[in-house]
């Protein structure tokens, strides 16, 4: 009988050690849902080095992450605090660059378009991002866009942009 108890005890101990070992191993996410890369143009604005999709893929590989959602930083040109005149060409170029970078790794990266939803070009850029650039979602930065949800005109404009995004069946990520 003592032999049977000892065998059961050893079996339980082995099982407990196995479970503890499995729990100690970190869980690596398969998808990173919030990544930015930095175009040469954005790098000049922020005074940092550019970061390409290739750079990001290397980082994902080293972390064991399979896929990522890339969020455009084109909204930065429409930030009213920056007061960049005639900035729509910069927004377009930033979204174009992101789409080109995503196209380098289509099996691993999904791109989200960005712009200030209060700008007159917002609905045009949303449509262009979907139909021309084939980006699959939207990234809004409400604070950097100067949105005031106490202002009925701002609320209505954001509603219009979200309605257009819904019509295209786009997900949106907001900060």
Single pTM value for the model: 0.81
CB count within 10 Å of CB 127 equals: 13
The more confident residue out of 25 and 52 is 52
Q: Does residue 34 contact residue 56 with C-beta atoms inside 8 Å?
A: no
* Cα–Cα dist 112/102, whole Å: 10
Which domains are assigned to the chain? 28-174 (3.20.20.140)
- Binning pLDDT at 50, 70 and 90, where does residue 24 land? low
Cα separation, 171 vs 2, in Å, equals 63
Beta-bridged to residue 38, according to DSSP, are 51
pLDDT of 17 > 50? The answer is: no
pLDDT at 20 over 80: no
């Amino acid at each position: 009988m003592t032999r049977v108890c000892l065998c059961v005890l050893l079996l339980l101990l082995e099982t407990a050690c196995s479970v503890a070992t499995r729990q100690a191993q970190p869980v690596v996410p398969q998808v990173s849902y919030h990544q930015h890369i930095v175009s040469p143009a954005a790098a000049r604005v922020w005074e940092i080095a550019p970061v390409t999709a290739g750079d990001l893929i290397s980082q994902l590989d080293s972390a064991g992450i399979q896929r990522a959602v890339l969020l455009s930083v084109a909204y930065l040109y429409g930030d009213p605090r920056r007061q960049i005149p005639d900035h729509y060409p910069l927004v377009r170029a930033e979204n174009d660059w992101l789409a080109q970078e995503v196209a380098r790794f289509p099996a691993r990266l999904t791109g989200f378009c960005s712009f200030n939803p209060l700008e007159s070009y917002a609905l045009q850029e949303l449509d262009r991002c979907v139909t021309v650039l084939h980006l699959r979602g939207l990234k809004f930065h409400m604070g950097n866009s100067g949105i005031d949800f106490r202002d009925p005109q701002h609320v209505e404009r954001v509603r219009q942009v979200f309605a257009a995004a819904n019509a295209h069946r786009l997900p949106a990520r907001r900060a």
